[in-house]
Amino acid sequence: MILEKVLIADDDKNIQFAFKRLFKEKGYDVVTADDGLEVLEKVNMEHPDLIFMDISMPKRSGLEVLEVLKDKGVEIPVVIITGFGTMQTAIKAIQLGAYEYLVKPLDIDKILIVAKRALEMVSLRDRLEKLNVEVSDKSVKGEIIGNHLKMQEVYKVIGSISNTPNSTNVLITGESGTGKELVARAIHSNSGKSDQPYIALNCSVLPENLLETELFGYEKGAFTDASQRQSGKFEAAKEGTIFLDEIGDMPLNLQQKLLRVLQEREFYRVGGNNLLPVRARFIAATNKNLADEVETGNFRQDLFYRLNVITINLPSLREREDDISLLLHHFIGKYSAKLEKKITSIMPEVIDHLKKYSFPGNVRELENFVERAIVVTAGSVLRLSAFPDPLQSTDNHAPISSLVLEDARKYNNDIFEKNYLIELMKASGGKVNRAAELAKVDRRTISRLIQKHKIVTGDYK
């Protein structure tokens, strides 16, 4: 019996040893490499079935090795490993054909699952269509900041979308302030059409008639003030991207017209008789639950299905608390430069209070907090007193009346879920299976909620 061979590429001998022991115990043949050049040599000599490769290595980085393998047409699945994941490295890794992208510290179960799936893919390769992603050296406009696993998943989806044709629609969901337009811009900037226009329009700002003419354009004489022909956003976007923000607020009549455009990929200007093609990609975003809006009759079901080809759900800042410090330093750098201030240090209590705050306004609210704090800071030290009152209060949350209805509902639902989960853990003695039985749901639902709300089951045993 021929053993499946795994190549472990890392300049850290401890990492090599740990991987080697893990895979040998599971019945795999294991070879190792200390640097990028050795990886390429081992690929030619050992012909591994799977590669786990660190992104930072001597002589050649993991991304450089990936690029060489891609150029040579080598189809070995590569799992990239990094100690610090950024949006750009995640996107670049996926674009260069990485099978998976993992951030340290690594989970053993996750490693084995990824290895099993990758090797299954190898055995079925003749029946699978290989994903080839064109490398783009253009940078994303507006870097998305986040190292949390949920953000890493977002980055990987962005990288995957860049390989799809413009006819593939994307729906971005998430609370207000989570960065939905940044994601839309990242998709555009990392696509093969990044040199084409990016056109954004907020569907909640304009009345129906103006929104229609903005999108479709109009012919001379189409209405009283139409003194000349005017092109709309569908034409202006050319082969680029049309971003429709707050799509959940689009009037029903206009939803029907948009549906036809998405189906036929053509349209008429208002008052016109000539069919015009639409070649741009449609990206829609909303902070509403469109499935609920369909149920209440506020959103067309057929349009929802048409938009919902690829969905990216952005986590709230509450769900990625570990990113707060990273975002804080990013915004301090941004606004220190913009406002010509020299902030050299932060009082520890600032970060403590930020991590306790609920952030109903998400990343946008944090950014506003930091800008305001830098404006009012006279010296070089950022203190808690420079931040607004809600952050300094003992309960550390803004009044619920400051939220829009959808965000208030989500905020209260999160509080209920966490409190209910805590009571379940107490009643079940921290046993997940028992908690699932009491709640009359499956174990996966309870496990997902435990992870979401960062509950330590051992505290209740």
Tell me the per-residue pLDDT of 379-426, one tens digit each, with 9 for 90 and over: 777 888 888 776 765 344 455 555 566 666 776 777 778 878 888 888
pLDDT of residue 76: 84
**Per-residue confidence band for 132, with pLDDT thresholds at 50, 70 and 90:** very low
Neighbouring-strand partners of residue 245? 202
What gap in Å lies between CA 68 and CA 43, rounded to an integer?
Answer: 11
pLDDT band, residue 206 (cuts 50/70/90): confident
pLDDT class of 133 with cuts at 50, 70, 90: very low
Parallel, antiparallel, or unpaired for β 29-33 and 381-382? unpaired
The CATH fold assigned to 317-398 is Helicase, Ruva Protein; domain 3 (1.10.8)
* Fold (topology level) of 5-127: Rossmann fold (3.40.50)
* pLDDT for position 378: 74
Rounded-to-integer distance, Cα 421 and Cα 440, Å: 13
Average pLDDT, the chain: 83
Which strands sit side by side in the sheet containing 198-202, from one edge to the other? 198-202, 241-245, 281-286, 170-173, 310-313
Q: Which of 79-83, 109-113, 228-232, 248-252 has the highest mean pLDDT?
A: 248-252
Residue 216: per-residue pLDDT: 92
**What residue ranges in 246-388 does DSSP mark as E strands?**
266-267, 276-277, 281-286, 310-313, 345-346, 381-382
Domains 5-127 and 162-313 in one fold = yes
pLDDT in tens, 295-338: 999 999 999 999 998 999 999 998 888 888 888 888 888 888 88
Six-digit token string for 357: 């705050």
Q: If DSSP codes are grouped into helix, strand and coil, which group holds residue 341?
A: coil
DSSP state of 17: H
* Residue of 75, 76, 32, 25 lying closest to 54 (CA atoms): 32
pLDDT tens digit sequence for 155-196:
989 988 877 888 889 999 998 889 999 999 999 988 889 899
State the Cα angle at 126 between 124 and 128, rounded to 5°.
70
Q: Which two tokens stand for residue 72?
A: 């040579």
- Whether the model clears a pTM of 0.75, i.e. scores above it, the answer is no
Is 162-313 a CATH 3.40.718.10 domain? no
- 3 state SS of 80: strand
Q: What is the bridge-based pairing of β-strands 276-277 and 266-267? A: antiparallel
CA distances from 143 to 16, 81, 91, 331 (A): 33, 21, 12, 12
Residue-level pLDDT at 459: 67
pLDDT at 255: 94
- Please, what's the largest Cα pairwise distance for the chain? 81
Instruction: Tell me the domain boundaries of the chain.
Output: 5-127, 162-313, 317-398, 406-460
- For the range 327-336, what are the long-range contacts, defined as Cβ-Cβ under 8 Å and sequence gap of 24 or more? 327/145, 327/146, 327/363, 327/366, 327/367, 328/354, 328/366, 328/370, 330/145, 331/366, 331/367, 331/370, 331/371, 332/370, 332/374, 332/382, 335/370, 335/371, 335/374, 336/374
What amino acid occupies position 377? T
- For residue 395, the 8-state DSSP code is S
- 461 pLDDT band, cuts 50/70/90, is low
Looking at the predicted structure, is the pLDDT value of residue 138 above 70?
no
In this structure, how many other beta carbons lie within 10 angstroms of the beta carbon of residue 201? 18
What is the mean predicted confidence (pLDDT) over 17-40? 88
